[in-house]
Amino acid sequence: MSEQVPADMPSGTEALGPEEFAAAAGVSRETLERLKKYAAVLEDWNSRHSLVSRASMANLWDRHFWDSAQIAALISTTARTLVDLGSGAGFPGLVLAELRPDLKVTLIESTAKKCRFLKAAADELGLKLEIRQQRIEDTARQRFDVITARACAPLPDLLAYAQRFWGPGTRAFLHKGQNLAAELTQAHKSWRIDSEQHSSRSDPSGIILEIRELQRVGRKPDHP
């Protein structure tokens, strides 16, 4: 059964530790223990490979885990497939694979060392998912129910990436910051989108941009 993140999670005003995260998110003790293993693998690899900024490791549970986990409640229970673009250290894709075991998750990451980390973390969590060591623009077109991306690319570029995986009913959930308005202005020059903005519960200046329709201006829908 899927674990949904409740709407009354903290709003990013205070740092969370693992226990506070679990209590607020309503995840099981078993899930928390697996996420702790993920955190331990990340801390080990990060000391040698700098997968995420060292400063952010001090607030790991809200800066990375909660920032990723908040997406789980936005994803429809009817969704079955998810692709995470530019997965990096696994946020949000790996966290969502743990919280939403009903989803078949694919992680796309071009950097070899990050793919090795993703496999090590997924193995530690006991997750079965697909990891593609590829540039997003080189990946074969394939429809997914859900597309996620965090700190991946400016919105106009990100929409071009997302279109490769778009189809009827697809939803995208993109982590964006305080420059979203400017990015949307640029994006609307090339893209027609139907979107909704969700305030981030982990970062007061953050936005989760949900995209429900995506079409390049002047072109008919091009679904795989």
At 161-198, the pLDDT tens digits run 999 999 999 999 999 998 999 999 999 999 999 999 99
pTM, full prediction: 0.90
Residue-wise burial string across 26-41, b where 16 or more C-beta atoms lie within 10 A, e elsewhere = ebeeebbebbeebbeb
Question: Mind listing the pLDDT tens digit for each residue in 124-136?
Answer: 999 999 999 999 9
Q: What does the alpha-carbon distance between residue 149 and residue 152 come to, in Å, rounded to a whole number?
A: 6
Under CATH, which architecture does the 18-216 domain have? Answer: 3-Layer(aba) Sandwich (3.40)
Domain boundaries, the chain: 18-216
Helix pair angle (29-49, 18-25), 10° resolution: 140
Instruction: Give 218's pLDDT tier (boundaries 50, 70, 90).
Output: confident
- 27: Cβ contacts below 8 Å, ≥ 6 apart: 3, 21, 35, 99
- Cβ atoms within 10 A of the Cβ of 197, count? 13
